[in-house]
Chains A and B, each alone.
Chain A
Amino acid sequence: MPYRYLGDIATADVAFEATGKSLEEAFTSAAEATLNVMIDEPDRIERKEAVDVELENDDLEMLLFDFLNELVYYKDSRKLLLRVDEIKIEDEGQFRLAAKLYGEKLDPLKHPLGADVKAVTLHRFSLSKSDDGWKATAVLDI
């Protein structure tokens, strides 16, 4: 699940590029990139709670936007740090996403804190297909 942070796009904030061989992998990479802004060492997150997310949008790019926003929502509303367990995206006229996420409540003593993500922005937000898979770019307002 590769992603990298881009230093020169957003002076005051954080930008990342996330890739995957499949659409699902790219969404998973983007979710990890977002999580890793909020805390360091995401591998320490344990499987204590599960959350099902179902979303639909007629625009695939906006489906990713909605998905990343869900992670921000769960971080604030239920203090949950979430990783992707399973994810399926289908095109049924509308794009539908069904994901099983797992994780645990944020504990500053266990999870080294990063920056609080205020919002996923649409600045240079993109999702594109290339020869070897999918690539997402996003800028997070922090």
Chain B
Amino acid sequence: MATPSALKRISDTIWELPRGYKEGMLVPARIFATEKLIREMDDGVFEQVTNVACLPGIVNYAYCMPDGHWGYGFPIGGMAAFDPKTGVISPGGIGFDINCGMRLLTTNLTLEEVRPRIKELVDMLFYRVPSGVGSTGFLRLSQDEFRDIIEEGSRWCLKRGFAWPEDIELTEERGCFEGADANKVSRKSIERGFDQVGTLGSGNHYCEIQVARPENVFDSELARTFGFTLPNQIAVMFHCGSRGFGHQVATDYLQTFLKVMEPRYGIKVRDRELACAPFNSKEGQDYFAAMKCAANMAFVNRQMILHRIREVFSVVFNRSPEDLGLNMVYDVTHNTAKLEEHTIDGKKTRLLVHRKGATRAFAPGMEGVPARYKEAGQPVIIGGSMETGSYLLAGVKTGGHAFYTTAHGSGRTMSRHQAKRMYRGSSLQHDMEERGIYVRSVTWGGLAEEAGAAYKQIDDVVEATELAGLSKRVLRLLPIGNIKG
């Protein structure tokens, strides 16, 4: 794919499209990538990141991470910070799956202990963590209880015995976006999501049993801090979000913003998926409070899935979750907007930071990093394809030039359609099993769509974030078992 001729190389890993690239750009656009990755980026990234640069109140640059690819409104991998007084909030900068995110936990088991039980583990996880179209969770909640969940986040799970105190400490925002207001979400959104707590969903959502091989540990000190102390230690990683509830919140406010944006606020956008409202308007604040509800639902969703994973391991190994060391490393979101304080030209400034397919990566010592990781920096969890592996990284002090943000995944390079034409789910499952990865999916087609070759090389993406000073590699995790929606 050809990159735009106006693309300037600022450094080995920073590329810029200047304000003159497109009429209406208020700031330049910056893309973090190696030369290889920028050459592979689809045209949508350049088009969309420069559309974002036209949004009112944007500060410094419109950014895109090394895993950037075409999205709705913002590119996936997009990040933009806005002045809360003059800027906007846009669902297109957050994604339909609000607080889609990653959670990682360790075990004190090794590959040798888990390999013989892998089918049993994956099969039981497959039944106890529902996935796929229309799946419902094991919690039987009333809609009123669901309203409590979306305002309280993970605290709700702690009160009911579904969380350990340290789970809360090790979740971004301690598992609750404060200021969530259940009165700002529609009846429809609650009806779509209230019985989906504890479900994975489908698409690229998954739960994976992984191994940290000694040769894949890049920083053994950080690895130890994050709970990886054994050779060939087993971990569990999963990826999911706020399910139908969050999707409906995003759809509702997309429609609201489309109606008021131009007549009431005089804002024109280049793409309807960039519909927005001033952050300081009634509609903007309503969406912010509703988005927080969806973010909290996603935290609870991942907490309940963690609870199920602990139960499954406990049953299979006939030992308690505590005894098995089923401890959280971290839970990090990659689809949100948050008010954060950052330094611009030496001045502390409050910003509304949109991250869409982009992960917060706070540096050592920053407020918001759990106390036990103060020296290490915030853990960053980057999921790869189900065949190639994933990474644990850490935030670094040099990340300030991207408001401490890094990549979130590997990014697709092949359409689902094409992947389904090229791979057959059943033979892929067989091939993967031969290579030591036992996978279960509710649909063969869905499995084929997620074939490793449909994704960018995650090693390239992660290396680019390190070269760009956005995050640092701690270790690479290889799959041995996977359940897919």
Question: Taking beta carbons and an 8 Å cutoff, which residues of A are in contact with B?
Answer: 5-8, 10-14, 38-40, 62, 69, 72-73, 75-77, 79, 106, 108, 112-116, 118-123, 125, 139, 141-142
Contacts and interface: CB of A to CB of B under 8 A. Distances in A.
B203 A115 contact: yes
B412 A116 contact: no
Interface string B372-416: 000000000000000000000000000000000000000011111
Which size bracket describes the interface of B in this complex? 35 or more
Given A7-B418, A11-B413, A106-B134, A120 B72 contact: no
Contacts of A122: 72, 254, 272-273, 275
Given A77-B192, A114-B446, A116-B203, A13 B96 contact: no
A-side interface mostly: mixed
A32 to B, nearest CB: 16
A62 B254 CA distance: 12
B190 to A, nearest CB: 9
Interface in B401-459: 412-418, 442-443, 445-446, 449
B72 A5 contact: no
| Smallest CB-CB A-B distances: 6 pairs | A7-B417, A76-B244, A77-B191, A76-B192, A116-B202, A122-B272
B191 A121 contact: no
Contact of A116 (B133, B191, B416, B449): B133
B481 interface: no
Interface of B: 42, 69-72, 76, 96-97, 132-134, 136, 188, 191-193, 196, 201-204, 243-244, 247-248, 250-251, 254-255, 271-273, 275, 412-418, 442-443, 445-446, 449, 485
A112 B444 CA distance: 9
Given A76-B243, A108-B442, A141-B96, 5 more contacts: A11-B412, A11-B415, A76-B196, A118-B201, A122-B254
Contacts of A113: 132-133, 202, 442-443, 446
A112 to B, nearest CB: 7
A123 B201 contact: no
A128 to B, nearest CB: 16
Contact of B201 (A40, A72, A114, A116): A116
A13 B76 CA distance: 12
Contacts of B76: 12
B273 A121 contact: yes
